[in-house]
Amino acid sequence: MTISDGRLALDPPKAAPIARKASFAFYGRVSTEDNQDPESSRGWQMTRASALIEPSGGEITHEFFDIGESRSLPWQRRDQARLLLAELRNPLRGFNAVVIGEPHRAFYGNQFGLTMPVFSHFGVQLWVPELGGAVDPDNEAHELVMSVYGGMSKGERNRIRVRVRTAMAAQTELEGRFLGGRPPYGYDLIDLGPHPNPSKAAKGQQLRGLVRNPATSAVVERIFALYLAEYGIHAIAEMLNADGVPCPSAADPARNPHRSGLAWAKSAVRVILTNPRYTGFQVWNKQRSDDILLDVDDVALGNTSIVRWNPKEKWVMSKTPSHEGLVSLDTFEGVQDLMQVHSRTGTPHQRPHPTRHSYVFPSCVICSLCDRRMQGHYAHGVKYYRCRYAKQYAKINKVDHPGNVYIREDTLVEPIDTWLASAFSPTNINNTINAMAESQPEEVTGPEPEPIRQALRDCDAKLDRYRAALEAGADPVVVTDWITEVQAERAMHQRLLAEVPQTPRRLTHEEISQIVNALGDIAAVLRRAHPDDKAEVYQQLNLRLNYDPETTTVRADVNLGADRRQVVGVRGGT
């Protein structure tokens, strides 16, 4: 780095020049937050990278392009970036440098400082357009520039988030606009006309709103009336089930594929009674997404997003009604007041919170009758796992399930510990790893996506020609019809491309060995471990214990990318 006439100049990189026709790997990224077509984004990033290396005689022979991955994810958690880092270890990788078309999309925050040492360790150059060539790992100015771009990328993401949230709050409060998601039970979604955003309207997108559903709206009104008549939430759910009223997931199975749709639950009634949308006002910001550290002991792993409920004072409501209300404001407020009274009056009679007990198999024991996780239960100094199933729900769901299913924890510990210790002992470890590797599912094959991508490129070329024709003075009516036809064709190809199945990668014998070895001496750990430490080992092994109360047996599964199964007998019953 030199200073001339008060200006900062970057010194040429110290790395050796790339030989002519050197092979490069290209890395790029696009996500939904960028609001760009993945194929178009890949094209311009590839063009920018190629323009950088062509004067030096380089050519791109390998490509790694992440689609739908947020820039906040570290490289180790992006699919294609992780494959690129793994390929750096391969001495026969087929390239000796990596070129990036846009550092804003590749690095976020301090990711460059965590990633560049890996490139330097394996002797692979990293080229970026902003430096005019390769990054010199010993050049402070290069490191400063790349760190600045990481900070700018982080700031850009934060600005996008603030703009989007501010706009959504204003659209809810001032316009009462429906901002997406599933319609509440009792309503249907209808098209209200072209989208107010011109670019979205040009693609045929419609503004959507809520309208009363004749059948389910009557059920909502009945629920509010019953609660005001002093019927409890549990009693209301039983009445609806007895009358054969379809529950919300049964009334709209297309939007609720993750639910059984067989019976009303207390939680469904409670959600309806506390939803202010039934008054006709639009509501937004009931939930938020928070970024938290994935591992507080390893901040390099980055953050993960979790959804949390916002307090009511942070909810955003429209100033005027935006759709037909199913209940009046007085009725809704009366229900909320009554729920608070019930909550206050019930508090003094509640028992104190029980002492926390450590369980060895938290979230691991599954009831085979209903396929639900069994909960920890402590009684008379003994730890159990219990599956409680209300009789009325068992009857409605047509499940032959006792009211309570129990199994003692101490009947599970010894046989499971013995099985796992023997499976991962030095004499059996290779057989166990081989069984895991061989039992992996075959890779999924599907249609080749490249012809679909070529069809998308052809559509883009047609659209460019039609827009040029418009600018040249062609008949707008005729050209608009052409554009509409091509946009419909392009949307069809995009759907076909989205339906191309992703091929799962089979773990190699070495990768499974690394995972198992990272757990250490499992037998020694299990012998002297505290229940909390044991639970952590079992969670890392993805242990699943499927308990069959009829035969009093447990089927144990360990999943490290492949299944290993053993059936053991245990004492216990229902």
211 pLDDT above the threshold of 60:
yes
DSSP result, 491-524:
HHHHHHHHTSPP-PPPPPHHHHHHHHHHT--HHH
Please report the pLDDT score of residue 444 as a whole number.
52
Mean pLDDT computed over 88-100: 91
At residue 24, the pLDDT reads 95
Taking residues 395-413, report their average pLDDT.
80
pLDDT tens track for 334-360: 999 998 887 765 534 444 555 567 888
How much is the pLDDT for 222?
A: 95
pLDDT at position 18 is 46
- Range with lowest mean pLDDT among 178-192, 417-431, 495-509: 495-509
Choose between 97 and 439: higher pLDDT: 97
pLDDT for the residue numbered 525: 65
Q: Give the pLDDT mean for 20-39.
A: 79
User: Which pLDDT tens digit goes with each residue over 220-251?
Assistant: 999 999 999 989 898 898 889 888 898 888 88
For residue 481, what pLDDT is reported?
74
| Distance between CA atoms of residues 463 and 483, nearest Å | 6
d(CA 396, CA 243): 11
* Per-residue pLDDT band at 562 (split at 50, 70, 90): very low
Q: Is the pLDDT of residue 488 over 60?
A: yes
More confident residue, 524 or 420: 420
Mean pLDDT, residues 299-314 taken together: 82
Same fold, 2-157 and 187-282+318-346: no
**Angle, helix 140-170 to helix 111-121, in steps of 10 degrees:** 140
The pLDDT value recorded for residue 65 is 94
Looking at domain 2-157, its CATH architecture is: 3-Layer(aba) Sandwich (3.40)
97-100 and 23-30 strand pairing: parallel
pLDDT band at 564 (very low <50, low <70, confident <90, very high): very low
| 377 token code pair | 């239960």
Q: Where are the domains positioned within the chain? A: 2-157, 187-282+318-346, 359-445+505-574, 449-498
User: Average pLDDT of 101-120?
Assistant: 90
Q: What is the pLDDT of residue 486?
A: 80
Q: What is the DSSP letter of 252?
A: S
What digits encode the pLDDT tens for the residues 47-57?
999 999 999 88
CATH of 187-282+318-346, one of 3.40.47.10, 3.90.1750.20, 3.90.1150.10, 3.40.50.620: 3.90.1750.20
Q: Please state, for a pLDDT cut of 70, what percent of the chain lies above it.
A: 83
pLDDT at 565: 42
Specify the pLDDT at position 467: 78
Looking at residue 572, its pLDDT comes to: 42
Alpha-carbon torsion 539, 69, 157, 142, what sign? positive
Beta-carbon contacts of 530 under 8 Å, excluding residues fewer than 6 positions away, are 358
Cα dihedral sign, 284-285-287-289: positive
Specify the pLDDT at position 15. 46
Q: Rounded to a whole number, what is the distance in angstroms from the first to the last CA of the chain? A: 76
Q: Which residue has the tokens 């901040």?
A: 299
- pLDDT of res. 135: 92
Span 419-444, average pLDDT = 72
Mean of the pLDDT values across residues 85-98? 90
Matching residue, tokens 């900062």: 8
Who wins on pLDDT, 521 or 366?
Answer: 366
User: Residue 63: what pLDDT?
Assistant: 94
CA dihedral for 104, 108, 113, 114, sign (positive or negative): negative
Mean pLDDT, residues 123-135 taken together: 92
Name the DSSP letter for residue 543: -
Residue 185 has a pLDDT of 93
Confidence bin at 80 (pLDDT 50/70/90)? very high
- H-state helical runs in 187-328: 198-202, 214-228, 233-242, 248-251, 266-273
| Predicted TM-score of the model (pTM) | 0.55
Q: What is the mean pLDDT of the chain?
A: 81
pLDDT at 344: 62
What does the pLDDT read at residue 7? 45
